[in-house]
Amino acid sequence: MGLIKKYARLVKFEHTLFALPFALIGFFMALSQHESQLSLRLLVLVLLCMVFARNAAMGFNRWLDRRFDRLNPRTAQREIPAGVIRPRAALIFVIANSLFFITTTWFINQLCFFLAPVALFVILFYSYTKRFTPLCHFVLSLGLAIAPMGAYLAVTGHFGWQPLLLSLVVFFWVSGFDIIYALQDEDFDKDLKLKSIPAYLGKKKALWLSRIIHLTAAVFVVALAVVANGGWLQWTGSAIFTGLLFYQQTLVKPDDLHKVNLAFFTSNGVASVLYALFVIAGLLLT
């Protein structure tokens, strides 16, 4: 059990709450649109794909950035720099979860299996991007935005417009809050010549860009509710999610970052879970 806890802390397993609710929306959206019966086997396979993919992505990020994490006071106590998990063991963990992810997609459908290496490339490639582009936040958000479309494909075997809108919600939501989170490391990134929006633009302009991005996410939340002819449950979930987007923007100021964790973890975790609960309830009850 101690070993499981170590690796759960390595990948911040509780942060699965960010993408998992949207994957579940994509899954139940596909069931609703095609009047398919719920398959517990397929649902479990989709959930396993989410866990394995995220484990691989986070584990690889921790392994690749171990030198930077050791130098940064904010991250020096993470499992690899602190010596709790050896780098070689972390890399084996990444390889194993990558193989588990691809293998699991084989039991879903052919399209998901063929697209699995592409998804894996995106989520692993993100870890390199901070070394050469301040657009790294958008690569991270692309990796998470794959989740709802992937879950939709698992059920239907083809693409659709509504899950694409859902993926765009995730894309702009994640990139917006990741810029907020990166504000903490602006000086560190500049010193080590790492790339990020805050290091490139400064805190004030980065926050304004984050607000514009989150406004775009809110537009796509409304667009999805309109296209899906969402009932009052989906509209309620949309209002809550949008409200929490604006709320987290009020928590952080360029000269006051002490509420970043509240904005990043609490606000986003609550937003994703509540939005998923209302939207999925609307899909099941209509």
Q: How far is 189 from 171, CA to CA, in rounded Å?
A: 23
Specify the CATH number for the domain of residue 149. Answer: 1.10.357.140
- Axis crossing angle, helix 232-251 with helix 161-182, rounded to the nearest 10: 20
> What are the backbone angles phi and psi of residue 4, rounded to the nearest 5°?
-60, -40
Residue 160: C-alpha distances to residues 163, 164, 243 (Å): 6, 6, 27
What pLDDT sits at residue 178? 94
Is 212:157 a contact under the CB 8 Å cutoff?
no
Q: Give the Å distances, CA to CA, from 117 to 102, 113, 114, 157.
A: 7, 8, 7, 17
- The alpha carbon of 61 is separated from its chain's Cα centroid by a whole number of angstroms, namely 14
Question: How long, in residues, is the chain?
Answer: 286
Query: Structurally, how many domains does the chain consist of?
Result: 1
Q: How far apart are CA 78 and CA 69, in angstroms?
A: 7
| pLDDT in single tens digits along all 286 residues of the chain | 478 888 888 888 777 777 899 999 999 999 998 877 889 999 999 999 999 999 999 999 999 999 999 999 999 999 999 999 999 999 999 999 999 999 999 999 999 999 999 999 999 999 999 999 999 999 999 999 999 999 999 999 999 999 999 999 999 999 999 999 999 999 999 999 999 999 999 999 999 999 999 999 999 999 999 999 888 999 999 999 999 999 999 888 888 888 887 777 778 888 999 999 999 999 988 7
Check residue 35 and give its pLDDT: 77
**pTM for this one?**
0.94
Instruction: Write out the residue range of the structural domain in which residue 202 sits.
Output: 2-285
Token code pair at residue 176? 């917006």
